[in-house]
Structure 1
């Protein structure tokens, strides 16, 4: 699947298994393989924590192969 970063925009990330909203792609870090340029995973900030523990960021790691569908408004992942 070939995706341009600009196409991901402000899409919401939804877990297929339970319908949970995980975050918005605009708030997400994208980890890319330096050699191939392929996306390895998405790092979505944990929304349930209102504060950072000891200044530490807590992220949900979503492997790129867990992405099932990229629609107009959302990205469906299977976790």
Structure 2
């Protein structure tokens, strides 16, 4: 029974805010970003949208690729990351 309380559903955590404790940056909610999942079903990367909104048609599409192992804690309403500049890759899609 105790294991059931530790289960987090994607439909629940998609409303959690992403916060990087390394630099204090807030990256919006998981719902407005993406996850890369490998063939075995493991989370590999968070793809963080830096453009601020989905209706930003005229700017380039800048994203951060953050390895999932940078996730340190999934709290009650936040996902805490510890990702420094050496680990995070800036990509354009």
Q: Same fold (TM over 0.5)?
A: yes
TM-score scaled by structure 2?
0.69
- How many aligned residue pairs are there? 74
Q: What is aligned with 1:39?
A: 43
Is 1:23 aligned to residue 59 of structure 2? no
CA contact (8 A) 1:22 1:44 kept: yes
Which structure: larger Rg? Answer: 2
Q: In structure 2, which of residues 52, 55, 62 is the aligned counterpart of residue 58 of structure 1? A: 62
Shift of 1:3: 4.5
What residue ranges of structure 2 are gaps of 5+ in the alignment?
Answer: 1-6, 84-93
Which has the larger displacement, 69-78 or 3-12?
A: 3-12
Q: The residue matched to 2:48 in structure 1 has which SS?
A: strand
1:22–1:47 contact (8 Å) kept in structure 2: no
> Is 2:51–2:62's contact at 8 Å kept on the other side of the alignment?
no
TM-score, normalization by structure 1? 0.79
Unmatched segments (≥5 aa) in structure 1: none
Task: Kindly provide the CA deviation profile for residues 9-52 of structure 1, in whole angstroms up to 9, marking residues without a partner as x.
Answer: 21000011122102210101110002x1001011010146x652
Paired with 2:15 and 2:35, the residues of 1 have a C-alpha distance of 13
